[in-house]
Amino acid sequence: MNPNLEEEQCLFAIHHATHVLGGKWSFLVLGQLFCNDSQRFNQLRRKLGNISTKSLTDTLRHLEQNEIIDRKVFPTVPVTVEYSLTDKGRDFKRVISEMRYWGQKWGHNNQTHHIL
């Protein structure tokens, strides 16, 4: 295979993955959903700590549009909405696990942060 074509395809695949996963909160939302099968909006917001309502809403919408998470609405009063990973989202677990390993190994002074 042409090395330039292979490199171009590699970079395109990485670009696509980073676009689908979106902003800075996406990885932390995915991490929370890996640890818990499904969560409601306020559960996620509390677990993530300093995320604004708008940032979480935008992140969840982006991940849903890209078929990484599923949004299920329950007809309760008030309405209950739960978020969970799709098969496409669960397929990302190995990457999140490697990020965790890397962060534990190389993180600043190996401090534990209680986000996940």
Exposed (0-12), middle (13-18) or buried (19+): which is 64, by Cβ within 10 Å? middle
SS3 84: strand
Q: Tell me whether residue 115 is in a domain.
A: no
Residue 113 scores a pLDDT above 70: no
Give Cβ neighbours of residue 93 (< 8 Å, ≥ 6 apart). 34
Query: In this predicted model, which residue has the larger pLDDT, 116 or 93?
Result: 93
Q: Tell me whether residue 20 is in a domain.
A: yes
Q: Tell me whether residue 43 is in a domain.
A: yes
Q: pLDDT at position 37, please?
A: 85
Q: Tell me whether residue 116 is in a domain.
A: no
Q: Tell me whether residue 99 is in a domain.
A: yes
Query: In this predicted model, which residue has the larger pLDDT, 110 or 98?
Result: 98
* Domain count of the fold of the chain: 1
Q: pLDDT at position 93, please?
A: 87
Question: Would you place residue 65 in the very low, low, confident or very high pLDDT band (cuts 50, 70, 90)?
Answer: very high
Q: What is the mean pLDDT of residues 37-57?
A: 93
Q: Where are the beta strands (DSSP E) in 1-109?
A: 38-40, 69-74, 80-85
Q: In whole angstroms, how far apart are CA 61 and each of 18, 42, 65, 67, 87?
A: 16, 15, 6, 10, 17
Q: What is the mean pLDDT of residues 26-41?
A: 91
CATH (domain of 94): 1.10.10.10
- The answer to whether 30 and 85 are in contact (CB under 8 A) is yes
pTM of the model: 0.79
Residue 7 structural domain: 3-110
